Amino acid sequence: MTQKNKTKEPIIPVLMPAKLMSKISGIGENTLRKLMDSGEIEYLPVGNRRLLCLEAIYDYYQRHKTPVKVTILPLADLND
């Protein structure tokens, strides 16, 4: 699906089916389809196809990422 223009730079489509998005995002095709079915990820229905955009993947990531746990040491421990 990735086309090349005359300058030989890859053109990445704005909207893509789950099969192509799975290759780009690293999320499995079936997982993407389940996320669309459950309403956890946005998609655009066009005919009988469901198209995804990268922003939908980024939004899903922001909502489900695991926060970093920061350990704060007392000042006495830093001087040792």
Whether the per-residue pLDDT at 27 is higher than 60: the answer is: yes
d(CA 13, CA 10): 10
- Could you tell me which residue, 50 or 9, shows the higher pLDDT? 50
- The position carrying tokens 């196809």 is 49
pTM over 0.75: no
Q: What percent of the chain has pLDDT over 90?
A: 66
Query: Can you give the pLDDT at residue 71?
Result: 87
Query: Can you give the pLDDT at residue 6?
Result: 73
